């Protein structure tokens, strides 16, 4: 039909997008909550079986707009793009399907004109060694966000040790998922300040390469692909493995151990049986200046007992956007160094992005400080530069 | 069971694998699937004929009538596939959901809304047709599967053609265009969502020849959930291609009845 196919050159007014965040939900509960917000409160919530039927068919797309404010005075606008990877398809068997979803989400980000894109959760894991598989980028750059994730994991370990009066210098550190970008970054940052490092991962060749690198710096290193070999020896454990579901068991872990679960999805099984060990979620930061989702996904996209807490990988893109540094800060696998971590931490801190208060699956491990308790939903303004105060470290058991 | 001395053909003359047992024992299921397809094609033919009546340009009139003829050809092809497996394929464009879809289209005709007609037929109804035919094509044996695959491909070409017209129209006034799509979505996609629901909650669809075919789809490696999922995916992708914001269309789809 020859109906006026004209005027295609006319464009819509463009909304400037500083950053895009690519992510996915780590559980069916989280996915259900996202769909419930979209469906609205007036309609009956979708039953679980319908959610499991519908979600796999949703093409990757923008879910909401994200506005952030810097403590230095600026602000940035962004988008959250969900890959809609079904939470039970995060396993290796679905890698090609999931990679296609991440690529489609990346295309959405590029089409939106986002200047920088942070890759969250599995999207980062899938892409970190395959940046060449991203679509043609025009003026959009991608960062895995792993450097700031490492920064917050390391900060968390150091802070928790200080609060519990543990001597990091005498500690034996176990890193599970040590050869990944995050795991190896943590190894480089923490190896110089602990007594001994135990490395665990599935790929023996990569383990050997990392061990050689650390040993060259004078670090005492042991490696194993057998996870059950190390837990009894470890004082501190970082869980940074790429697991499709929380399935990690740390049998015979020392009761005094400090365990940082930095996975997304979480690594530790709910039945991990970590009797006596202190467990906290790592790699998380908090935006003091403010974070707003439109529509309102507060507490849905950032499921954490404290407000404005987001994974470091996503915060890296936001921090760089606030800084006006649109560059692929974290790219590839195995390039995270203490120097780069310090650099991104400085940028983040300048804009009021700091280590999040501690929490684990049972809830907060810290008391909320004044500005957090008095905050309005989703748009928090601090009353002075306050620091969260640790009131207790919860011993599980 | 094969006995000694018998040679059983494994390919038909068109080179397609034959699964006679599947076709014969599942004939009542294919009969209902074909009845929905024939009804959809007959309705599309009626819609294009109606569209020809509001076109001013003789070329557009000819185009619409050609489309109508094409849809009638599709209906005939599906009916012929039914005869091959020994079933009569009825159609019922007055069945409750199909009648509602026709009324929505006629509403656009009454307003001489050419663009509205294209949105209903090419974006909404064809998304459903392309996606569900493609899924059926994957599991239907022999020429039945080939026919579904061929027609899915031809319907997709319609969509491509309409897309250029609709994108041009949206470029003129995106807000007005998106409002129109939403208004039609509420009517047409709500009806389609009811049709595609896992269970027919409003009673018999008036197309299936006996009881509802949906619970039996699993016997031919299909499911109502899969057909709905594929259709909604195709619809969302079509709206993406038109340039509608993905976050908005996602909300529309999540608000459809289940």
The residue ranges of every structural domain in chain B are 20-254
Residue A393, pLDDT above cutoff 60: no
What band does A387 get if pLDDT is binned at 50, 70 and 90? very low
Q: Please give, rounded to a whole number of angstroms, the shortest distance from the CA of B240 to a CA of chain A.
A: 9
Query: Cis omega (within 30 of 0) on the bond before B138?
Result: no
Residue pairs spanning A and B at CB distance below 8 A: 92
Contacts of B55 in chain A (CB under 8 A): 1
Backbone angles phi and psi of A236, in degrees to 5: -130, 135
Which residue from B104, B39, B44, B34 is spatially nearest to B68, judged by alpha carbons? B44
Q: Which two tokens stand for residue B241?
A: 């291609």
pLDDT at site A379: 35
Q: Which residues of chain B are within 8 Å of residue A34 when distances are taken between CB atoms?
A: none
Cα–Cα distance, B56 to B59 (Å, whole number):
9
- B114: closest chain A residue by CA: A3
Query: How many residues would you count in chain A?
Result: 397
- Structural domain includes residue A375: no
CA distance B219 to B216: 6
User: Tokens in use for A235?
Assistant: 């004082």
List C-alpha distances in Å: A260 to A174, A220, A236, A254, B150.
10, 21, 8, 14, 55
Per-position DSSP letters for B44-67, written without gaps between them: HHHHHHHHHTT--SHHHHHHHHHH
| Banded pLDDT at A328 (limits 50, 70, 90) | very high
Residues A142-167 as b or e (16 or more Cβ within 10 Å = b): bbbbbbbbbbbbbbbbbebbebeebe
pLDDT of residue A3: 38
Give yes or no for a contact between A284 and A306, defined as CB atoms under 8 angstroms apart. Answer: no
Whether A268 is covered by a domain: the verdict is yes
pTM value is 0.87
* Cβ contact, residue pair B60, A1, below 8 Å: yes
Mean of the pLDDT values across residues A224-234? 89
pLDDT confidence bin for A385, thresholds 50/70/90: very low
Find residues 12-41 of chain A whose CB sits inside 8 Å of chain B: 12, 35, 38-40
The class (CATH top level) of B20-254 is mainly alpha
Distance to chain A for B154, nearest Cα, Å: 16
Residue A253 confidence (pLDDT) = 85
Burial of B110 (0-12, 13-18, 19+ CB in 10 A): exposed
Q: What is the CATH number of the domain that holds A252?
A: 3.40.50.720
For chain B, how many residues are written?
A: 258
Distances (CA, A) of B136 to B123, B142, B223: 20, 12, 10
To the nearest 10°, report the CA torsion of A194, A198, A201, A206.
80
Identify which of B233, B245, B255 has the shortest CB distance to residue A40.
B255
Residue A6 — pLDDT band, cuts 50, 70, 90?
A: very low
The answer to whether the Cβ–Cβ distance between A2 and B164 falls below 8 Å is no
> In whole angstroms, how large is the CA radius of gyration of chain A?
21
Beta bridge partners of A143: A118
Query: Average pLDDT of chain A?
Result: 85
| Residue listed under structure tokens 């015979």 | A252
* Overall average pLDDT of the A331-359 stretch: 96
Q: What's the confidence (pLDDT) of residue B110?
A: 97
Alpha helices per DSSP H over chain A? 28-39, 48-54, 95-112, 122-127, 146-163, 181-190, 204-215, 312-323, 338-350, 370-373
Q: What is the dihedral of CA A279, A284, A286, A291, to 10 degrees?
A: -130
Most A CBs within 10 Å, among B64, B168, B250, B257, to test the A interface: B250
Nearest to A57 among B164, B172, B232 (CB): B232
Point out the residue among B161, B236, B254 whose CB comes nearest to the CB of A59: B236
The residues facing A236 across adjacent strands are A173, A258
Calculate how close chain B gets to A95, using CA atoms only, in Å. 20
Could you tell me which chain B residue has the CA closest to the CA of A60? B246
Q: Is A62 on the interface with B (CB under 8 A)?
A: yes
For an interface test with B, the pick among A55, A57, A82, A105 (most B C-beta atoms closer than 10 Å) comes out as: A57
Is a pLDDT exceeding 80 seen at residue A365? Answer: yes
pLDDT of residue B22: 61
Q: Average pLDDT, stretch A354-372?
A: 78
Question: Rounded mean pLDDT of A38-54?
Answer: 91
What tokens appear for A337 in the block? 């160094």
Residue B66: phi and psi, rounded to 5, are: -65, -40
DSSP-assigned states of every residue in A142-192 = EE--HHHHHHHHHHHHHHHHHHTT--GGG-EEEEETTTSHHHHHHHHHHGG
Kindly give the pairing relationship between strand A221-224 and strand A196-200.
parallel
Which region among A4-13, A174-183, A262-271, B76-85 has the lowest average model confidence (pLDDT)? A4-13
- pLDDT of residue A375 exceeding 70: no
Q: Is a pLDDT exceeding 70 seen at residue A345? A: yes
**Residue range(s) defining the domain that contains residue A263:** 149-281
Name which residue leads in pLDDT, A135 or A11: A135
Residue A2 and residue B57: Cβ atoms within 8 Å? yes
Give the total number of structural domains in chain A: 1
Helices (H), A164-268: 181-190, 204-215
Average the pLDDT over each of A23-37, A270-284, B11-25, B125-139 and give the range with the smallest value: B11-25
State the smallest CA–CA distance between residue A108 and chain B in angstroms: 9
- Can you give the pLDDT at residue B6? 43
CB-CB under 8 Å, B228 with A53: yes
> Is the pLDDT at A315 greater than 70, yes or no?
yes
Using CB atoms, which residue from A1, A35, A50 is nearest to B64? A1
With cut-offs at 50, 70 and 90, classify the pLDDT of residue A14. Answer: low
ipTM of this predicted structure: 0.86
Question: Which residues does chain B have within 8 Å of residue A61's beta carbon, measured at their own beta carbons?
Answer: 236, 240, 246-247, 249-250
Residue A17 within a domain? no
**Chain centroid offset of residue B57 CA:** 28
Is B229 in Cβ contact with A56 (below 8 Å)?
Answer: yes
- CA A205 vs CA A92, A192, A197, A200, A224: distances in Å: 20, 22, 17, 12, 11
User: Which A residues in the span 283-302 are in contact with B, Cβ-Cβ below 8 Å?
Assistant: 295
Put simply, whether A6 touches B (Cβ < 8 Å) is yes
Phi, psi of A253 (to 5 degrees): -70, 145
pLDDT digits (tens, 9 = 90+) for A128-143: 767 777 777 778 999 9
Which residue of chain A comes nearest to B161, CA vs CA? Answer: A1
CA of A60 vs chain B CAs: smallest distance (Å): 9
Q: Do B246 and A65 touch (CB under 8 A)?
A: no
Q: Quick one: pLDDT at residue A139? A: 87
| Residue B19 pLDDT | 53
Q: Do A61 and B236 lie within an 8 Å CB cutoff?
A: yes
Residues A74-95: tens digit of each pLDDT: 999 999 999 999 999 988 889 8
Q: What is the pLDDT of residues A235-255, one digit of tens each?
A: 999 999 887 777 777 777 888
Average pLDDT over residues A41-59: 92
Q: Among residues 101-160 of chain A, which lie with CB inside 8 Å of chain B?
A: 108
B233 vs A contacts (CB less than 8 Å): 57-59
% of chain A residues with pLDDT over 70: 88
Closest residue by Cα to residue B38 from B79, B98, B81, B95: B79
- Minimal CA separation from A20 to chain B, in Å: 13
pLDDT for A397 equals: 27
pLDDT tier at A270 (50, 70, 90 boundaries)? confident
Using the predicted structure, report yes or no on whether residue A392 has a pLDDT greater than 50.
Answer: no
Q: H or E stretch including B154? A: helix B142-172
CA-based nearest distance B164→chain A, Å? 7
With a pLDDT cut of 90, the percent of chain A lying above it is 64
pLDDT at A377: 34
The reply to whether residue A10 touches residue B171, judged by beta carbons under 8 angstroms, is yes
Comparing C-alpha atoms, which of A155, A157, A91, A154 is closest to residue A125? A91
User: Of A169, A214, A211, A177, whose CA–CA distance to A194 is shortest?
Assistant: A169
Count other C-beta atoms under 10 Å from residue A45's C-beta: 13
The residue written with tokens 């979600």 in the block is A55
Q: Among A12-21, A243-252, A373-382, name the one with the lowest average pLDDT.
A: A373-382
> E strand or H helix at A310, and its extent?
strand A309-311
Please list the ranges in chain B whose pLDDT falls under 50.
Answer: 1-18
């Amino acid at each position: 039909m020859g109906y006026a196919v004209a005027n295609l050159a006319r464009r819509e007014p463009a909304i400037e997008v500083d950053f895009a965040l690519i992510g996915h939900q780590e559980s069916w509960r989280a996915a259900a909550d996202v769909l419930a917000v979209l469906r609205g409160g007036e309609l009956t919530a979708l039953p679980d079986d319908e959610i499991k039927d519908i979600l796999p068919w949703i093409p990757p797309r923008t879910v909401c707009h994200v506005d952030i404010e810097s403590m230095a005075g600026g602000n940035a606008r962004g988008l959250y793009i969900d890959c809609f990877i079904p939470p039970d398809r995060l396993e290796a068997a679905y890698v090609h399907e999931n990679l296609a979803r991440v690529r489609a989400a990346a295309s959405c980000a590029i089409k939106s004109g986002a200047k920088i894109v942070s890759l969250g959760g599995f999207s980062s894991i899938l892409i970190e060694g395959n940046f060449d598989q991203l679509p043609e980028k025009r003026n959009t750059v991608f960062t895995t966000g792993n450097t700031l994730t490492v920064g917050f994991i390391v900060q968390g370990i150091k802070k928790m040790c200080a609060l519990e009066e543990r001597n990091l210098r005498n500690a034996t550190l176990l890193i599970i998922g040590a050869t990944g970008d995050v795991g190896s970054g943590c190894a480089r940052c923490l190896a110089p300040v602990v007594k001994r490092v135990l490395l665990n991962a599935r790929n023996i060749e990569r383990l050997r390469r990392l061990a050689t690198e650390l040993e060259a710096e004078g670090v005492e290193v042991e490696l194993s692909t057998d996870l059950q070999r190390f837990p009894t020896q470890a004082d501190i454990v970082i869980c940074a493995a790429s697991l499709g579901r929380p399935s990690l068991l740390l049998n015979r872990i020392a009761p005094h151990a400090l365990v940082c679960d930095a996975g997304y999805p979480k690594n530790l099984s709910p039945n991990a049986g970590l009797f006596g060990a202190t467990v906290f979620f790592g790699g998380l930061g908090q935006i003091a200046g403010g974070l707003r989702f439109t529509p309102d996904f507060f507490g849905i996209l950032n499921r954490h007992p404290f407000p404005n807490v987001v994974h470091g990988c996503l915060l890296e893109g936001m921090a760089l956007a606030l800084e006006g540094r649109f560059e692929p800060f974290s790219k590839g696998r195995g390039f995270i160094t203490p120097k780069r971590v310090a650099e991104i931490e400085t940028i983040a801190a300048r804009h009021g992005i700091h280590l999040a208060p501690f929490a684990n699956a049972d809830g907060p491990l810290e008391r909320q400080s004044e500005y957090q308790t008095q905050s309005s939903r989703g748009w928090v303004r601090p009353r002075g530069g306050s620091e969260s105060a640790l009131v207790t470290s919860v011993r599980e058991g | 069971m094969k006995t000694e001395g018998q040679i059983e053909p494994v390919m038909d003359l068109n080179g397609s694998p034959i699964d006679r047992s599947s076709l014969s024992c599942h004939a009542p299921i294919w009969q209902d699937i074909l009845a929905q397809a024939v009804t959809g094609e007959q309705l599309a033919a009626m819609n294009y004929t109606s569209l020809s009546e509001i076109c001013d340009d003789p070329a557009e009139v000819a185009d619409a009538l050609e489309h109508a003829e094409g849809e009638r050809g599709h209906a005939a092809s599906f009916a012929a596939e039914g005869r091959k497996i020994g079933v009569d394929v009825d159609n019922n464009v007055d069945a409750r959901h199909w009648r509602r879809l026709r009324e929505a289209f006629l509403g656009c005709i009454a307003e001489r809304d050419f663009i509205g007609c294209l949105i209903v037929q090419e974006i909404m109804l064809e998304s459903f047709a392309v996606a569900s035919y493609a899924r059926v094509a994957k599991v239907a044996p022999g020429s039945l599967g080939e026919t579904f695959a061929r027609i899915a491909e031809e319907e997709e070409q319609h969509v491509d053609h309409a897309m250029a017209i609709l994108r041009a129209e949206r470029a003129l006034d995106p807000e007005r265009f998106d409002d129109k799509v939403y208004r039609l979505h509420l009517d047409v996609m709500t009806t389609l969502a009811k049709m595609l629901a896992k269970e027919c909650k409003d009673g018999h669809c008036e197309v299936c020849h006996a009881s509802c075919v949906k619970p039996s789809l699993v016997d031919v490696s299909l499911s109502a959930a899969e057909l709905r999922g594929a259709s909604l995916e195709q619809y969302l992708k079509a709206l993406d291609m038109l340039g509608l914001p993905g976050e908005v269309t996602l909300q529309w789809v999540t608000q459809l009845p289940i």
